[in-house]
Amino acid sequence: MSNDIRVRFAPSPTGHLHIGGARSALFNYLFARHHGGTFVLRIEDTDQARNVDTATEKLMESLKWLGIDWDESVDKGGEYGPYKSMDRLELYQTYVDQLLESGKAYHCYMTQEELEKEREEQRARGETPMYSGRDRNLTDEQKRAYEAEGRKPVVRFLVPSDQEIVVKDEVRGDVTFDSNGIGDFVIVRQDGIPTYNFAVTIDDHLMKISHVIRGEEHLSNTPNQVLLYEALGFETPVFGHASLILNQDRQKMSKRDESIIQFVEQYRELGYMPEAIVNFIALLGWSPGGEEEMLSLKELAEQFRLDRVIKAPAVFDTQKLEWMNNQYMKQADPDRVVWMSLPHLVKAGRLPENMSEQQRHWAYDLITLHQEKMSYGAQIVELTELFFKEQIDYNEDAKAVLDEEQVPEVLDAFRTKVKELTWEPDAVKAALKEVQKETGHKGKKLFMPVRVAVTGQMHGPDLPKTIVLLGRDKVLKRLDTLLADA
C-alpha cells in the first residue's frame, strides 16, 4: 500500500463528537498514517432538519484536541472538494440523471400516509415492512395526475431482484445480503436533497476513497451502497466495519445511556488527558501487536493494521479509562495538571477567579500534592474537600483510631510543636520525629492519630505537605477541638 490509500471520516453535523465517532475517526487516521496515505474529513450535512449550526466547528475542535489532524477538509481545501455535501448538490444531480435515464431509478409519488398503511398491511401479514415498488412503472399520464394533486416525488433506486450482494469486509470477512430483503430505497428526497446512502457513495467515488472504515452499525447501509457502486459502474472501495461498543452491562451503548460519559467534549471539560482518551478508544475493538497497552498516537499509527481490528464487541470499561488516565496524569508535567484542574476548584467555589499570587502558589501545591491520585482534573474537588472544611465529621473508623489510649499524649505534644515551628514540610517532618522521641510512640501509633485528627482520613498524600497546606490555624483548631473533648 502507498499514497493511493485515501480514507475519510464523514460525520453529520448534528451534535457533539460521540466516542464511537471518535473511534472511527481515529481508526481512519491511524490507517492513513501507517500507510503514508491521506485522511479526509468530510461533512455529511444532507439531513438539514437535524443539523446544528456550530456542530462542524465543535467536531473539528474535538478531533484536534485528540491530536487527530486531517489532510483535506472544509478548512484546508483539497483537490476533491467541496468537502460539505450540501455544496456538492450539482455533482450529485449528474448521477441521479444517469440512473433515471438508464431505468435504474424512478420517481415515486407515494405519500407518508400511503407508505405507513402499506407497512401496516405487511406487518399484519407477517411480512418484513419494505416499499412494495408500487410506482416502479408509472406512465407519464399517471405522473402528471399525481403532480396535478400537488404531490412531489422522491427518487427511488430500483433494487434488482434475486441478487446476492457480497460485502467484502476486511474485519468481518464476506458478508452476504439478499437483495429481495432491501426494497427500492430513496436516493433523493422530495426537496431534491440526496439521502445519506446516495451522497456518501458518490462522494467516496469522486474523492477516490480506497478504504471505508467505520462502525458495525453502518454495515446494514453497505449493501445499498454496493448496489449503487455497481449501477453507476464505480469501483467498490475496501470496507472494514469495527465492532459495536457495548456498555459495562454488555448492552449496545445508546446516546441516552447515562452510565457512561459518551461525548469527547465532556471528557475534555472533566479534565481528562487527550492522550489517554486516544489510547483507550484505540483499544476498543483493536489489539496491538504486543502486550504493551500504553501507546502514544505515533506508536498506535506504527502498529495499526486492519487485520488486528476485532470482530467481537468492545466493552467500554469506565474504570479502565480512569486507570489509564491516571497513568498519564502521573507522568504529566505538573504545570499541565494544574492548568487542567484549577478551573474545577474555581467552578466549585473553592477558590476565587481572580487569585492573589499567594493563592496561586497554594493552589499549585495543593493540586500537585494530589497528582498521583487523580484520575481526571475535576476529581480535584472531591480529593481536596478536607482543605476547605471548617469542621470534620469523623467516621467510625476514624473515631476508633482517636479512641486509642496514646492519642491525647501524641496530639498534645504535636500541638505544642505546631505552635512554634517554621511552617514548611521539612519542619513538620522534624516536629513529628521530636514527638516520637518525647512520647516513645512511633509508626502507626504516632502518624495515624495525627493524620486522622487533622484530615479525618485514614490514608492520604504526604502528611507534612498536607499539614502545611491546611494551615497552622486550621490544624491547631482541629487539634484543640479533639483535645478539649478528650
Per-residue pLDDT at 289: 81
For cell 503514508, name the residue: 36
Helix (H, G, I), strand (E, B) or coil at 176: strand
Per-residue pLDDT at 484: 87
Q: Beta strand pairing status for 238-242 and 211-215? A: parallel
**pLDDT over 90 at 151, yes or no:** yes
- Encode 280-317: b = buried (16+ Cβ within 10 Å), e = exposed: bbbbbbbebeeeeeebebeebbebbebeebeeebbbbb
Task: With beta carbons less than 8 A apart as the criterion, state whether 100 and 138 touch.
Answer: no
**Banded model confidence at residue 259, pLDDT cuts 50, 70, 90:** confident
DSSP 375-439: SSGGGHHHHTGGGG-SS----HHHHHHHTSTTHHHHHHHHHHHHHHS-SSHHHHHHHHHHHHHHH
**pLDDT over 80 at 485, yes or no:** no
Q: What is the DSSP letter of 243?
A: P
The stretch 435-444 carries a mean pLDDT of 95
Alpha-carbon distance of 314 to 304, in angstroms, equals 17
Residue among 411, 479, 392, 397 at smallest CA distance from 449: 411
Alpha-carbon distance of 365 to 220, in angstroms, equals 54
pLDDT digits (tens, 9 = 90+) for 55-108: 999 999 999 999 999 999 999 999 999 999 999 999 999 999 999 999 999 999
The stretch 428-450 carries a mean pLDDT of 96
**pLDDT over 80 at 189, yes or no:** yes
Cell of 430: 522534624
Q: Beta strand pairing status for 164-169 and 173-178? A: antiparallel
**pLDDT over 80 at 177, yes or no:** yes
Cell of 26: 481515529
Per-residue pLDDT at 1: 45
Task: With beta carbons less than 8 A apart as the criterion, state whether 240 and 345 touch.
Answer: no
The stretch 118-123 carries a mean pLDDT of 94
Contacts of 14 (CB under 8 A, 6+ apart): 47, 50, 51, 52, 55
Q: Beta strand pairing status for 245-246 and 314-315? A: parallel
Tell me how many degrees the CA angle 12-33-174 measures, rounded to the nearest 5. Answer: 70
**pLDDT over 60 at 214, yes or no:** yes
Minimum mean pLDDT range among 97-101, 202-206, 285-289: 285-289
Q: What are the start-end ranges of the H helices in 304-333?
A: 318-331
pLDDT digits (tens, 9 = 90+) for 227-240: 999 999 999 999 99
Contacts of 275 (CB under 8 A, 6+ apart): 67, 296, 297, 328
End-to-end CA distance of the chain: 77
Per-residue pLDDT at 390: 87
What percentage of the chain reaches a pLDDT higher than 70?
Answer: 98
**Residues labelled catalytic:** 255
Mean model confidence pLDDT for the chain? 95
In one-letter notation, the amino acid at residue 456 is G
pLDDT digits (tens, 9 = 90+) for 6-51: 999 999 999 999 999 999 999 999 999 999 999 999 999 998 888 8
**Banded model confidence at residue 486, pLDDT cuts 50, 70, 90:** low
